Amino acid sequence: MAAPSWLWVPQLFLCLMVPSAAALQVEASEQVCGCCAGPMRNESVAAVFCGSRWDRVRRGRCCLEGDQKIVLGLDFGNCSLHRLCSSFQEVSTAFVIDLTDNPLESLPEGSFQGFTQLQTLALPLKLDCPGGSEVWKNITIQGNNRLCQDQRNPCNGSGGFDSLCPEGSLCTSDGPGLSQCLCVDPYHGYKCLRQGNFPYLLFFGTLGAITTILSALLWITQRRKAKTF
């Protein structure tokens, strides 16, 4: 039996969309990796991390996972950076980041939001570890650098973040010193107070009815106006 002829439409859609989505992600990480010229510096914590396993590859200033294009490490040391690159958020998958020997003035709040896997961050001495000293298990000073190591899970007991999440939700880490409350099934909505599935039929049914009534009203009133000319 031959396939229906209209099938080429979704197929074409898939052929166009899937590669471009993957390309977009690669492009984004390439943009960050190219934010600073030259290769990784061999003495960087990121280079040491990258060399510790055979299935990690260096590209420019980045350390990537095998062929998957995921950024695991980043050496932005000695890059004359006054602030972080605009696409810095794209490397939230990184385990190790080196920002030493840069004239960085400060790290804006939220710079590391979503960096849940970050375990080693090397900074110029004048900058503090993001989230404060309680967030890291081990902070050491090495020459002109500050090393922030082993991010604590802000949801873990004594931190106190856990108790801020309403009932029906779960505290999850969202980067150094940051947490978010995610509703657990079947709770949803504001403060996870609603239970059960989202009432799609009621929601869209009501929306549709209101739209229809408003359109009808407008049509009638505008028609009346038109007649008076």
Interacting residues toward ligand NAG by CB under 6 A: 42, 78, 101, 138, 140, 149, 153, 156-157
Contact (Cβ atoms closer than 8 angstroms) between residue 116 and residue 124:
no
Quote the least distance from Cβ 93 to ligand NAG, whole Å: 19
Quote the least distance from Cβ 98 to ligand NAG, whole Å: 11
Please say which residue, 51 or 166, places its beta carbon nearer to ligand NAG. Answer: 51
Please say which residue, 24 or 37, places its beta carbon nearer to ligand NAG. Answer: 37
Task: Give the list of residues 6+ apart from residue 147 with CB closer than 8 angstroms, or none.
Answer: 45, 120, 121, 122, 123, 138, 139, 140, 141
Pair of tokens at residue 170: 């779960």
DSSP SS3 for 53: coil
Please say which residue, 42 or 133, places its beta carbon nearer to ligand NAG. Answer: 42
CA dihedral angle for residue 113, residue 62, residue 152, residue 105, rounded to 10 degrees: -60
Please say which residue, 138 or 228, places its beta carbon nearer to ligand NAG. Answer: 138
d(CA 183, CA 160): 18
Strand ranges (DSSP E) for 94-158?
Answer: 96-98, 120-124, 136-142, 145-151
Quote the least distance from Cβ 30 to ligand NAG, whole Å: 21
Which residues lie across from 59 on neighbouring strands? 62
Quote the least distance from Cβ 78 to ligand NAG, whole Å: 4
d(CA 58, CA 47): 8
Which residues lie across from 64 on neighbouring strands? 57, 71
Please say which residue, 157 or 196, places its beta carbon nearer to ligand NAG. Answer: 157
Quote the least distance from Cβ 160 to ligand NAG, whole Å: 13
d(CA 120, CA 24): 27
SS percent in the chain: helix, strand, coil, step 5: 35, 20, 45
Quote the least distance from Cβ 42 to ligand NAG, whole Å: 4
Please say which residue, 78 or 89, places its beta carbon nearer to ligand NAG. Answer: 78
